[in-house]
Amino acid sequence: MKKLILVLIVSFCFYPNFSSAQDLTLEKQKAQEYFLSKGEVYFTFEVFDKARIEELSNVISIDNVQGCTIFAYANKDEFGKFLNYSIPFKVLPHPGDVDFDLKMFDGTGEGNIMDWDSYPTYEAYVAMMNQFAATYPNLCRIVNAGTTIQGRQILFAVISDNVSTPEAEPKFMYTSSMHGDETTGYVLMLRLIDYLLSRYNSDPAVSRLVNGIEIWINPLANPDGTYHGGNNTVNGATRYNANGYDLNRNFPGVDAPNNQPIQTETQLFMNIAVQNYFRFSANFHGGAEVVNYPWDCWSRLAADNDWWVRVSRKYADTVHVYSAPGYMNDLNNGITNGYAWYYVRGCRQDYMIYYRHGRESTIEISSTKLLNPTQLPAHWNYNYRSLLNYIEQSLYGVSGTVTDSVTGLPLKAKVTAVGFDIDSSEVYSDSLFGKYYRMAIQGNYNLMFTAPGYYSKTISGVFVRNDSATALNVQLRPLINAIVNSGHLPSKFELYQNFPNPFNPSTTIRFDVPAQSRENSSPVRLNIYDVLGKNTEELLSNYLKPGTYEIKWDSKNYSSGVYYYVLTAGNITVTKKLVLIK
């Protein structure tokens, strides 16, 4: 009897009411109409087997899973592959098309964007971002990461008490609407920028964040999708970018290679992420109300899973205190492990953790994707305390500086929680200040510090308290023994071609430091540059004794391409080219 009931349940889940041939023909016609007008279709179907859902996630862009009911998007090519599975489906109205009066602010008519109950036109958005910097020049600057396929700007507001001067403080980032039809976070991020800037020096909590953290906010990560209907309206918005790709499925794969071509918007973001070590971040979506923490692509839990549950729970629980009943209670009362919800490959969250050694979550902020703008002020009131609390976590955990014990110069070092870190959860100090930050759940940790050319050091029993900062500064002792060739000391500075070249994932760089030279009084620096001339990594900065040295460069955090390694000492600069192929 139990077996019969199970069969009936499976049949019910897998074969919905819209399964007749005539209905499917009509649904295919509807899909074709959407491809002509929007380049993508939004549809639903039912699948009982989680393994099949995971398989389909590599074919189409799954948006939500509610029991055995799946909601998804697809471009024409993806939809054609989906049809090969012969799964009954139903085309749904596109979430980016609304029939209510969509209030837009263009900066010239009636209304005030600071009422926060309207969406800005694209031109008004750009003007607002630039006005933030003009009004608060000591607190805000605008970074244009580049332009999209259709020429729109990817803008970041950078907020800090010394915004034009690098400081030894963590970098934090919020972005929103990489799915262009999920617009609630778009306006909330604009309002957050205004909130931080306008309340600085009058609100102690805000001042503490701005004084202690460099905050990056990108309100609109996919402007081509959001303004698919034209620069004057967000009505008609699409999930995908102008090329028809889901940007949150477009990042390098973590569990397996991602065969999608990297899109302009994705590459622009990765450039920013390589240039800036964001210790903590979140990206905002819509279509559900839940804090989604890593991993999205692995069933195994992240090393910091307990910390993630606590931070996510704090966000959702704070929201519950101030929101209307029923808000942000999806899945586990407002939080979920990503993979437990549904599998995703190529998402930004996993990329930021695995490849950039940061911490990032995906926050679904409204069940309605393109929210009626009259509801935006309420959603701000539900969320703004949680937004501030989430930023504040950047200040907690264990942090300090790593320096050379001889020169006192800062070092770029790897900081590993021994017996705890897995799947790239270790963090790094920066090369400018030697500053590192390791957020963690309360407990005792053994931290190992390693850097090329230095003896490693392990500090045992480092206690971390929740919502508190533990200071730990570390000095590393340089290796004093050089590798001497043929029993004699080099006569001049020499930089050799790396081997192997091309390479993947690591290569060895070899160079000579001569016995007698005025440059011996200067530190020897070895840096990696990309083809645009940007310094991507410092491998060495130290005073060296005469001899021949070998430095290994591990490129697992970098994409394929041409790079240059540059040796400098005093007035000497030598450059060689290397090629990374992945």
Taking Cα atoms as reference points, which of 184, 190, 504, 200 lies closest to residue 367? 184
For the ranges 334-338, 423-427, 567-571, the lowest mean pLDDT is seen at 567-571
Confidence of residue 356 (pLDDT cuts 50, 70, 90): very high
Better-scored residue on pLDDT, 428 or 15: 428
Is-above-0.75 flag for pTM?
A: yes
- Does the domain at residues 494-580 carry the CATH identifier 2.60.40.1930? yes
pLDDT, averaged across the chain: 91
User: What local confidence, expressed as pLDDT, does residue 521 receive?
Assistant: 66
pLDDT at position 486 is 45
Q: Is the pLDDT of residue 322 over 60?
A: yes
pLDDT(131) > 80? yes
Q: 73-77, 173-177, 211-215, 571-575: which has the minimum mean pLDDT?
A: 571-575
CA distance to 36, 274, 479, 532, per residue, from 271 (Å):
33, 5, 33, 11
For residue 402, pLDDT over 80 is answered with: yes
Mean pLDDT is lowest, of 112-121, 200-209, 533-542, 562-571, for 533-542
Work out whether the CA dihedral 54, 59, 65, 69 comes out positive or negative.
Answer: negative
- Quick one: angle between helices 376-392 and 184-198, nearest 10? 60
What share of the chain has pLDDT > 90, as a percent?
A: 74
* Mean pLDDT along residues 303-308: 98
- Compute the average pLDDT of residues 547-554: 86
CA distance 428 to 415: 6
Domain range 398-476, its CATH number among 1.20.1740.10, 3.20.20.10, 3.40.50.620, 2.60.40.1120:
2.60.40.1120
For the chain, give every domain's residue range.
2-91, 104-395, 398-476, 494-580
**Higher-pLDDT residue of 284, 507:** 284
pLDDT digits (tens, 9 = 90+) for 180-194: 999 999 999 999 999
pLDDT classification of 506: cutoffs 50, 70, 90:
confident
d(CA 204, CA 192): 16
pLDDT score for 21: 64
Higher pLDDT, residue 100 or 241: 241
Q: What is the CATH number of domain 104-395?
A: 3.40.630.10
The enclosing H or E element of 225 equals: helix 223-226
Predicted local confidence at residue 4, as pLDDT: 34
What value does the mean pLDDT take over residues 261-277?
Answer: 96
Whether 398-476 and 2-91 are alike in CATH topology: the answer is no
Q: Is residue 344 classed exposed, middle or buried when 0-12, 13-18 and 19+ CB atoms within 10 A define those classes?
A: buried
Helices 376-392 and 305-322 cross at an angle (nearest 10°) of 140
Largest CA-CA distance found in the chain, in angstroms, rounded: 90
**Measured between alpha carbons, how far is 215 from 278 in angstroms, rounded to an integer?**
9
CA pair distance 114, 189, nearest whole angstrom: 13
Q: What average pLDDT does this structure show over 529-537?
A: 81
CATH for 2-91 is 3.30.70
Mean pLDDT across the stretch 298-325? 97
Compare 421 and 15 and report the one with higher pLDDT: 421
pLDDT at 487: 52
